[in-house]
A = this chain, B = another copy of it.
């Protein structure tokens, strides 16, 4: 659970510069006893500022990453804790048996993803924004899986965020053209996993979730600064 502080009471003449502009509130530990919509004085650089109060709201940072494929669909749920640690709750891949009718495959993906969402309660689904495929036929197949995955998220009340392969690899490895093994190794280290996630579809899914967490953190800081 990560807390997003919002200024609700302030006697400071320039709170944007003095509080939001100078301090990253997200980097501060949440006030003790903080919970959704609770109101607290702000602790700014270790000093309590009772003239400025913040409302703590839950920031959705449990993310389901999905890596769609026509054979394996990787998934992974990653949470950024209040201490800004990344924790992996689950990862794996849904295998689609070749020879099964497409409609039955899609039903399995929908059912499995809906069950994962119900069990691990992420607030957002992050998915690769694919603009390439080997050919039109494989793009259509991939699109079918992707559509059903997005529907599973949306019908469970999750927001859907899309990221390009370049953004995902850059966010995790720092290099947009990293290969699957490099992504797997970095994901293993970032999530402090005992062993690399298998298959690589699972590590790709975790990378997509991590990319969303990094991007959301950056956006949040940017929004705080430009408020």
Which of B103, B141, B150, B160 contacts A153 (CB under 8 A)?
Answer: B103
Of A89-97, A132-140, A195-203, the one with at least 4 CB within 8 A of chain B: A132-140
Known contacts A132-B136, A136-B133, A160-B101; decide if A146 and B143 are in contact (CB<8 Å).
Answer: yes
Chain B nearest Cβ from A162, distance in angstroms: 8
Q: Which of A137, A141, A143, A159 has the most CB of B within 10 A?
A: A143
Which of B110, B132, B159 contacts A155 (CB under 8 A)?
Answer: B110
Which of B101, B103, B140, B153 contacts A143 (CB under 8 A)?
Answer: B140
* Complex: A103 Cα to B158 Cα, angstroms: 10
* Complex: A174 Cα to B101 Cα, angstroms: 29
Contacts of A130 in B (CB 8 A): 140
Contacts of A107 in B (CB 8 A): 151, 154-155
Copies of this chain present in the complex amount to: 2
Which of B133, B137, B140, B147 contacts A106 (CB under 8 A)?
Answer: B147
Interface of A, helix, strand, loop or mixed by DSSP: helix
Q: Which residues of chain A in 93-116 are interfacial with respect to chain B, using CB atoms and an 8 Å cutoff?
A: 101-104, 106-107, 110
Question: A interface vs B, CB < 8 Å?
Answer: 101-104, 106-107, 110, 130-133, 135-137, 139-148, 150-151, 153-155, 159-160
Q: Please tell me if the beta carbons of B140 and A103 are within 8 angstroms of each other in the complex.
A: no
Chain B nearest Cβ from A156, distance in angstroms: 11
16 further A-B pairs in the complex, CB-CB below 8 A; given A103-B153, A106-B147, A140-B140: A102-B150, A102-B160, A104-B154, A106-B151, A106-B154, A110-B155, A131-B136, A133-B136, A137-B139, A140-B142, A140-B146, A143-B143, A145-B147, A146-B147, A147-B147, A148-B148
